[in-house]
Chain A
Amino acid sequence: MAQQESQNNKTADKLLREIYPGNSSMRPEFREELKNKVLARCSESRSRDNFFKVCAMFFSSHARKLLLSSVLVCTFALLLGGGAYGYLNMWGLPSEDDLLQNVLGHNSMTNNSADRNKGLAENSALAATDMMFPIRDFKYSHTVTTYEYGDAKGQCPAVVPWAVSSGSNLGRDESWDYFDEDDEDSVFYTKYQSFDTDGHLVTYSLQTEDGWYEYRGGQYAVKTLSGGGIYPLLMTAEDAVSTEFSAVSESEPEIMDEPVADSDSDSADTSSSDQAAVESVFGPDVEIVGRRLLGGKFHYVIDRKEQSSCELSKEDDRALSRVISSDGSVGTSGDLSTTVIRLYVEPETYSIARQEWYLGSVKEKNLIFATETSTQKSDDPFSAVSAIFIFDYSVPVKEIDTSSETTHELTLDMLREENVPVIVPLSDDFTLMSLYTDLVDSFDYVYDRAYYPSGRFGDDMYEEATAWMDDSSVSSVLSMTYAMKGDEYVDSAMDIYIFEEGVTDSVFFDYAFYGSSVSTGADTIVDIAGTDVSGRMVTVTYPGGAFEPSSTGSEESAVEGSDSSDSEPYVVDDIMQPCDKAEDGCESVDESEVVITFDFGGYTYYVVDRRADNSIDQITDYSMIPGSDTERLQVLMDEIDTWLGSDYGIPVMENVPDVDIAE
């Protein structure tokens, strides 16, 4: 299975290595030194034993009585207060904090309206892996969402979920998933299908143990063969206890004498975290409106407001670009409008049964669209639901193998047939991290009209899927990424691109760098297998992202420290935070790279030096492997697999005895 999923997990694992650089293992010398310290300290404390024993005997009888009395009084007060609160709460609305936190804890939510768009919808069989993790205390779930549209739909197309670009809208979607984390194989199945308002199938996907099926209603379906089990990022009830947004437990840990953190400040801190979580999802403008009947049952009603543009961006209206947004306005353009999102919350489960989107204010004529969702959950064993996770359509299934072995094989074939001269840096300081060609495409079915249904509806789907192809100006024959040895998990050091001869600088910079500017180049000489080749060296500058200025010491970011011994406020954010350029206060940070380009053997080469020091000593000398020498090229590719197959520096913790935590 393996192989595709394995490849996908490798991509995620590699990303983690890049984000968490460095060695995660404890230094052996530290381990030994600490052990000596611990043992020495314990020995020293033995000499103080008698003194402590005397003190303990003196205090024990008096202090215990006083402590017991205090505990009883406090407990009584707490019970009385809690009971009164519960009584009052039965007849009114819950507090805003309680309700919002419960809604947050029991639903998969993001803070923007785009999550209902196609991009996520196509993947929403994985809905439980959304940005905010609901507590997953079940194995199987089946969710049906229906969509209805109001008079204001045309006034705010950016908010409306869509099925195909022609204007057909999503009518219903349905997802099933099964995940049993207790199963030693961590079984995870998921199925999703959506239909437009006319009942046309829009998307069908199914994840099974051996592959990922996709079907769009055409003459055939596609099954991407997959590797080992995937790891859904689902939060179980147990996980929830240990996360910062979880509720405070009522009982104290039985850790005896070790002083427990101050409970008042702890509660305040946890409450602060909860508040932050609520605000990050619901936004600052949220209100509990009251209770309304829905399906013969009272539901809590919550209104929250968003500021977002109603106009689709001309530049990019693809839903995926709007899937994740902090303010709901990404991928849109024009003036901002107020959207009111009304949530109907089932009072027992806190699940969101209905959501309505209004333009400006909650009036019938302002309704943009609404969704109603019903979910069934169970702890059934997989055998009880296995029939659901079987491919449903009687059409041929085209299998796609995107394993590295197959991809490398196809790449080698291409290099051999085209006899592409592959250059390799002479310096031993580099490690080849990846090798890729645009010319081997496993996803060509996307551009096959037969993959989509016949008729106008299918035409629209096909058009949508292929619309971007015109934007693709050039394909690389080969692109290779190198890292400095030892820094494989930290950063790439050099990229080598090979194109058919004739690719211009502007085309390449558009291909490799977006929004970049280029300084005038200087002539240089590149040595390829002992042959001097004339080239040019240029500097390219591109936007490295946008950041908020450091907020150290600012009033907004300072939180009073809970440690009474330290009255200085602690600064929550003392680093540059990435932010969206649309926000006030964002500063753009530019980055630059040195690029060497030259023509050789009928191809145009671009070498991008990504190292911080930008010295060119090591990037002007190369050996060369002709495309016909598949044996040496295979060795090159094997290096990548060896690197990818390693444990990325994470040590396998051997010789650690099992700890019997049940004691």
Chain B
Amino acid sequence: MDLQELEIIYEKQVDGLYQFFYSRCCNREVAEDLTSESFLKFSDAVKRLGGTPPEKYLYGIAKNVFNSYLRKKYGAKEIPSGEYIEDLEQDISACSSSLYVRQRQSKQVVLAIENLPSAQAVIIHEIMVNRKTLTEIAQDLGKDLNYVKTTKKRAVKNLRKLLGCTP
């Protein structure tokens, strides 16, 4: 692979790869670090590609970089091996879409709800899962709007802590 080809791949993949990491880490610095590490490893390895599609190779590196990051940060592993690679490709591609990133963040928030104090969990559940407005929630709960606002505000603070960079 010559430098021109490498540059083309970089231009095609870097944004999606960055968003892939960002959607999981919700932290620009971390996402940039992981993107950087992935591409630098890729540039080291381009000579060994043989007939392998470069994008596929890059995704494989990204997967391992992300796994390594998770292990170091949480002592836990999120990503199973095997068929995951196919989804990773789609995922990185899909991460170019802000809608996709939002949907993924939604899932993370919903999964984190159960760690909130119950009153806060109810509010966030109603917003994220049942897609209710604050007014509707206030009506449902039999509380006034400011109760909902205040509880939501507290929940947001807690969720930020919970999701600081939760995989």
A249 to B131, CA, bound (A): 34
B105 is contacted by which of A20, A26, A560 (Cβ under 8 Å)?
Answer: A20
Stretch at the interface among A349-357, A387-395, A418-426, A648-656: A648-656
B48 to chain A, nearest CB (A): 5
1/0 contact string of A17-50 vs chain B (CB within 8 Å) = 0111111111100110011011101110110010
A263 to B80, CA, bound (A): 10
A499 to chain B, nearest CB (A): 12
A559 to B114, CA, bound (A): 22
A321 to B41, CA, bound (A): 51
* A559 touching B150, Cβ below 8 Å: no
A130 to chain B: closest residue by CB: B129
* B12 touching A659, Cβ below 8 Å: yes
A464 to chain B: closest residue by CB: B142
A37 to chain B: closest residue by CB: B40
Stretch at the interface among A7-15, A58-66, A135-143: A7-15
* A650 touching B88, Cβ below 8 Å: no
A308 to chain B, nearest CB (A): 13
* A233 touching B128, Cβ below 8 Å: yes
A247 to B139, CA, bound (A): 41
B61-85 contacts to A, CB under 8 A, are 61, 63-64, 67-68, 71-85
1/0 contact string of B125-167 vs chain A (CB within 8 Å) = 1011111111110011111111101101110111111111001
Residues of A within 8 A of B140 (CB): 119, 320
* A544 touching B154, Cβ below 8 Å: yes
* B80 touching A321, Cβ below 8 Å: no
Residues of B within 8 A of A39 (CB): 3, 6-7, 10, 43
A439 to chain B, nearest CB (A): 12
A319 to B153, CA, bound (A): 23
* B133 touching A479, Cβ below 8 Å: no
B32 is contacted by which of A27, A244, A320, A572 (Cβ under 8 Å)?
Answer: A27
Interface membership of A270, Cβ < 8 A: yes
A18 is contacted by which of B56, B74, B125, B156 (Cβ under 8 Å)?
Answer: B156
* B60 touching A258, Cβ below 8 Å: yes
Summarize B's interface: helix, strand, loop or mixed.
helix
* B161 touching A577, Cβ below 8 Å: yes
Residues of B within 8 A of A273 (CB): 76-78
A545 to B116, CA, bound (A): 10
A446 to chain B: closest residue by CB: B139
Given contacts A43-B3, A321-B141, A443-B136, are A34 and B36 in contact (CB under 8 A)?
yes
Residues of A within 8 A of B61 (CB): 255, 258
B44 is contacted by which of A7, A30, A41 (Cβ under 8 Å)?
Answer: A41
B60 to chain A, nearest CB (A): 3
A348 to chain B, nearest CB (A): 23
* B84 touching A231, Cβ below 8 Å: no
B160 to chain A: closest residue by CB: A19
Interface membership of A563, Cβ < 8 A: yes
A545 to B124, CA, bound (A): 15
Given contacts A38-B10, A563-B71, are A263 and B81 in contact (CB under 8 A)?
yes
* B133 touching A45, Cβ below 8 Å: no
* B114 touching A326, Cβ below 8 Å: yes
* A661 touching B89, Cβ below 8 Å: yes
Stretch at the interface among A98-106, A361-369, A467-475: A467-475
A577 to B159, CA, bound (A): 9
Residues of A within 8 A of B117 (CB): 545-546, 578-581
* B84 touching A253, Cβ below 8 Å: yes
B36 to chain A: closest residue by CB: A34
B145 to chain A: closest residue by CB: A436
* A468 touching B142, Cβ below 8 Å: yes
* A570 touching B81, Cβ below 8 Å: no
* A242 touching B79, Cβ below 8 Å: yes
A114 to B116, CA, bound (A): 16
* A280 touching B146, Cβ below 8 Å: no
Residues of A within 8 A of B46 (CB): 42, 45
Residues of A within 8 A of B41 (CB): 258
A256 to chain B: closest residue by CB: B52
A652 is contacted by which of B3, B78, B98 (Cβ under 8 Å)?
Answer: B98
Given contacts A233-B129, A261-B81, are A35 and B10 in contact (CB under 8 A)?
yes
Stretch at the interface among A284-292, A408-416, A506-514, A615-623: A506-514
A233 to B102, CA, bound (A): 12
B82 is contacted by which of A248, A324, A647, A652 (Cβ under 8 Å)?
Answer: A248
A110 to chain B: closest residue by CB: B114
Interface membership of A241, Cβ < 8 A: yes
Residues of A within 8 A of B60 (CB): 253, 255-256, 258
* B143 touching A468, Cβ below 8 Å: yes
Inter-chain contact total with CB atoms closer than 8 Å: 351
Residues of A within 8 A of B11 (CB): 35, 657
* B81 touching A249, Cβ below 8 Å: yes
* B80 touching A256, Cβ below 8 Å: no
1/0 contact string of B46-63 vs chain A (CB within 8 Å) = 111010110111011101
1/0 contact string of A588-622 vs chain B (CB within 8 Å) = 00000000000000000000000000000000000
Given contacts A238-B87, A578-B158, are A15 and B127 in contact (CB under 8 A)?
yes
Interface membership of A83, Cβ < 8 A: no
A568 to chain B: closest residue by CB: B75
* B122 touching A323, Cβ below 8 Å: yes
A12 is contacted by which of B59, B114, B127, B159 (Cβ under 8 Å)?
Answer: B127
* A258 touching B57, Cβ below 8 Å: yes
* A11 touching B133, Cβ below 8 Å: yes
Residues of A within 8 A of B145 (CB): 436, 438, 479
* B154 touching A545, Cβ below 8 Å: yes
Interface membership of A278, Cβ < 8 A: no
B156 to chain A: closest residue by CB: A18
* B160 touching A656, Cβ below 8 Å: no
A400 to B54, CA, bound (A): 54
Interface membership of A417, Cβ < 8 A: no
A443 to B119, CA, bound (A): 22
1/0 contact string of A107-119 vs chain B (CB within 8 Å) = 0001100000001
B75 is contacted by which of A45, A512, A561 (Cβ under 8 Å)?
Answer: A561
A329-385 contacts to B, CB under 8 A, are 330-331
* A19 touching B156, Cβ below 8 Å: yes
Interface membership of A16, Cβ < 8 A: yes
1/0 contact string of A539-578 vs chain B (CB within 8 Å) = 0001011100000000000111111001001111001111
Residues of A within 8 A of B59 (CB): 255
* A575 touching B44, Cβ below 8 Å: no
Interface membership of A487, Cβ < 8 A: no
A656 to B78, CA, bound (A): 28
A-B contact pairs, 15 of them (CB 8 A): A5-B131, A8-B136, A22-B28, A41-B40, A241-B87, A253-B81, A255-B59, A256-B60, A257-B48, A260-B81, A443-B136, A443-B139, A569-B75, A570-B74, A653-B15
Known A41-B40, A578-B162; further 16 A-B contacts with Cβ < 8 A: A8-B131, A34-B14, A126-B130, A231-B106, A233-B107, A248-B80, A253-B63, A265-B71, A321-B119, A479-B146, A542-B150, A561-B72, A566-B72, A575-B161, A579-B117, A661-B55
B residues neighboring A (CB under 8 Å): 3, 6-7, 10-16, 18-19, 22, 26, 28, 31-32, 35-36, 39-48, 50, 52-53, 55-57, 59-61, 63-64, 67-68, 71-85, 87-93, 96-98, 101-103, 105-107, 109-111, 113-122, 124-125, 127-136, 139-147, 149-150, 152-154, 156-164, 167
Top 4 nearest A-B pairs (CB, nearest first) are A249-B82, A255-B60, A468-B142, A570-B75
